[in-house]
Homo-oligomer: A and B are copies of this chain.
Amino acid sequence: MDAANKGFGIFPVGYVRSPLKERTGAPRQGWEGAPAAVLEIDPEFFDCLDGIEAGQDIWILTWLHEARRSVLKVYPRGRRRNILTGVFATRSPDRPNPIGLHRTKVLSVSADGRVQVQSLEAIDGTPIVDIKPVLGSQEPVKLS
């Protein structure tokens, strides 16, 4: 792999503040009992938030900084009774580019770039790399 020569640089636009402090024990998905959290956006990106409002559903893209990037297959949800599966067919944080995709709802947005969200399974200190609006009546909060 020659990632250095053909790669791209991404950087945090802010960080997750959450009562979840460790990956062990964190819920796998936001609807599995994840707590409310705050997105602390860096001042240079405050303008990017203009238009984000309370009640809106958003995608948060994070950098899963504790992930193992050399992992190509996993036992889904860490259960050995599951079939060993390619990471692209799972939501495992361990994957070549460990970008987390989280859906949640905005509770409030403050002028100092703090976005409170309803539930988030990312741990405290997780770098945020992007926020996008959910389009239409998209992902359910509960697993069907």
Contacts and interface: CB of A to CB of B under 8 A. Distances in A.
Interface stretch (A17-25, A88-96, A117-125): A88-96
Given A96-B45, A138-B139, A139-B138, A88 B10 contact: no
Interface residues of A, number: 58
A86 B49 contact: yes
A50 B29 contact: no
A142 interface: yes
Contact of A135 (B47, B88, B143): B143
Copies per complex of this chain: 2
Contact of A136 (B47, B51, B61, B140): B140
A20 to B, nearest CB: 20
Contact of A99 (B1, B88, B130): B130
A48 B44 CA distance: 36
A47 B70 CA distance: 11
A7 interface: yes
A70 B140 CA distance: 33
Contact of A9 (B4, B83, B136): B4
Given A7-B9, A11-B3, A52-B88, A138 B140 contact: yes
B10 A99 contact: yes
A97 to B, nearest CB: 4
A80 interface: no
